[in-house]
Amino acid sequence: MKPAVARILLTGATGGIGREAAGAFLRAGARLMLTGRSPQSLAALARELRDRHGLAEQDLPWVVADLREPRELERLAEHAAGWQCNVLVHAAGAPAFGALHAIDAATMAAVMQTNLIAPMQLTRAMLPSLRRQPGAQVLFVGSVLGAIGLPGYSVYSASKFGLRGFAEALRRELADTEVKVQYLGPRSTQTAFNGADVQAYNQATGTAMDSAASVAAALLRMLEDEEAERFLGFPERLGVRLNGLVPTAMDGSFRRHGRSLATLATLPERTGS
């Protein structure tokens, strides 16, 4: 889809990737509706973007919504449908890093709700209005960890593997409609989403991190070229292919990650991601 005709509902707009994506979409000429949980953060971001791009207040609407609450998801979908949204970008997410025994049940539930259940429910709520558009797209910001499971990311990977599976099945389900379903799998990104423990883990395992701006640029390209699935970074893209073909053969490749995770667990407590 050409950005000039895109009317994008962007979840997680005040996050690291969300903020960069908002700027990239607006620079390309798209219309944007922002959503997030904090009215203060949304209002500040909207003011910043309006000033930067010379927009009037009515040209950049925003809606406060907690994606963990089904009623608020329905209300958000109604706002977006009334605004004639034709692109839904799921950029909201919750982190979880650490050995499984260190992650409590409440965190597990919150991660699965935010990363998997909420995008499923919002997509379902938006589908009737999206299908009425002459062309529409649903773009999920997933992770390379939705195709490769790493030590320390068992809960997070479960949410993103689920999201990727949902996107794949829905893409095939809607193949004969005008709604295109897409999945972007970034690797580790330099945002506040990843705390000091993740950065130490990445350094110990030689894992590269991309800027949020580069992920936003990839989102814009996917909007334009309508590619079904894309993963970012090398050797991550190769790893996704190999892991899909021979997953158990890849197990030995991640022993250093397991050892690094065990080492981190013995260090003084860090700020989590």
Question: With the C-alpha atoms ordered 113, 116, 122, 124, is the resulting torsion angle positive or negative?
Answer: negative
- Model confidence over 154-204: pLDDT tens digits? 999 999 999 999 999 999 999 999 999 999 999 888 887 777 888 888 888
Is 142 domain-assigned? yes
- Whole-number pLDDT of residue 195: 79
- Whole-number pLDDT of residue 85: 98
Phi, psi of 10 (to 5 degrees): -110, 110
Contact at 8 Å (CB) between 272 and 195? yes
- Whole-number pLDDT of residue 12: 97
**Cα distance between residue 213 and residue 22, in whole Å:** 10
Is 272 domain-assigned? no
Domain limits for position 44: 3-234+245-266
Is 7 domain-assigned? yes
Instruction: Tell whether the model's pLDDT for residue 268 goes beyond 70.
Output: no
Is 240 domain-assigned? no
What mean pLDDT, rounded, does the chain reach? 92
Assess whether 156 carries a catalytic annotation: yes
- Whole-number pLDDT of residue 197: 84
Q: Return left, alpha or beta for 226; rule: phi > 0 is left, psi -120 to 50 is alpha, else beta.
A: left
Q: Structure pTM? A: 0.90
Contact at 8 Å (CB) between 131 and 179? yes
Instruction: Tell whether the model's pLDDT for residue 265 goes beyond 70.
Output: no
Residue type, 195: G
- Whole-number pLDDT of residue 272: 34
Residue type, 222: M
Q: Pick the catalytic residue: 153, 156, 183, 201? A: 156
Is 250 domain-assigned? yes
Q: Which residue has 């509706």 as its token pair?
A: 33
CATH number at residue 20: 3.40.50.720
Is 273 domain-assigned? no
- Model confidence over 105-145: pLDDT tens digits? 999 999 999 999 999 999 999 999 999 999 999 999 999 99
Instruction: Tell whether the model's pLDDT for residue 273 goes beyond 60.
Output: no
* Residue 116 CA: distances (Å) to CA of 4, 146, 218: 30, 11, 21
- Total domains in the chain come to 1
* Residue 107 CA: distances (Å) to CA of 80, 115, 158: 29, 12, 13
In sequence order, the 6+-apart residues with CB closer than 8 A to the CB of 245 are: none
Helices in the chain by DSSP H: which ranges? 16-27, 39-53, 70-82, 105-112, 118-131, 154-173, 196-205, 212-225, 236-245, 255-266
Is 271 domain-assigned? no
What's the mean pLDDT in 34-61? 96
What's the mean pLDDT in 202-219? 89
- Whole-number pLDDT of residue 106: 97
Confidence bin at 51 (pLDDT 50/70/90): very high
- Whole-number pLDDT of residue 263: 76
Is 151 domain-assigned? yes
- Whole-number pLDDT of residue 266: 58
